[in-house]
């Protein structure tokens, strides 16, 4: 694309390389924007030139993190390391703990108990009676203090 055709191999002359880099970098960034606008695509483009300077384009409809999350799911490759897996595991554990407490709370409030068998219902009844006794005792104490 230009006065002469060039082979696609490293440009040896370093100032030519630099000039070509600058021009093509602009070109590819433009292409990235265009495809995301024209076609609703989500694009992440990150370029480091030989000088170390970075250029990037991320589709406005998304974030890099989002794209990387999707990348991991689509490619099966993992980017975040074991540290994150540990955190994810902890989240799973907490969610399970949460769920079972949620269920226990419902039961104690008399909700969702049709699935319980007789033995479980008796245990629940005991627990509730105990709780009630404790609460009534405590309530009485409080009342007496106020008199």
Distance CA 5, CA 96 (A): 63
Residue 75 touches which member of a copy of itself, DNA, none, C-beta under 5-8 Å by kind: a copy of itself
Restricting to residues 66-125, name those near a copy of itself by CB under 8 A: 67-68, 70-71, 74-75, 77, 79-84, 87-88, 90-91, 94-95, 97-98, 101-102, 104-105, 107-111, 113-114, 116-118, 121-122, 124-125
Distance CA 79, CA 9 (A): 30
Burial of 124 (0-12, 13-18, 19+ CB in 10 A): middle
Q: Name the residue with tokens 């093509």.
A: 24
Distance CA 50, CA 20 (A): 12
Residue 1 touches which member of DNA, a copy of itself, none, C-beta under 5-8 Å by kind: DNA
Restricting to residues 13-72, name those near a copy of itself by CB under 8 A: 17-18, 20-21, 24-25, 27-28, 31-35, 37-50, 54, 56, 64-65, 67-68, 70-71
């Amino acid at each position: 694309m230009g006065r002469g055709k060039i082979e696609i191999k490293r440009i040896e002359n370093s100032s030519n390389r630099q000039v070509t880099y600058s021009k093509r970098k602009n070109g590819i960034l433009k292409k990235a924007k265009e495809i995301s606008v024209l076609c609703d695509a989500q694009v992440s483009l990150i370029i480091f030139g030989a000088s170390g300077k970075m250029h990037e384009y991320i589709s406005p409809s998304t974030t890099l993190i989002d794209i990387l999350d999707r990348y991991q799911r689509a490619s099966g490759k993992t980017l975040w390391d074991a540290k994150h897996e540990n955190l994810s595991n902890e989240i799973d554990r907490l969610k399970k703990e949460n769920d079972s407490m949620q269920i226990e709370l419902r039961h104690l409030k008399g909700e969702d108990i049709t699935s319980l068998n007789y033995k479980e219902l008796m245990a629940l009844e005991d627990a509730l009676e105990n709780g009630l006794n404790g609460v009534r005792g405590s309530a009485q104490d409080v009342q007496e203090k106020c008199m």
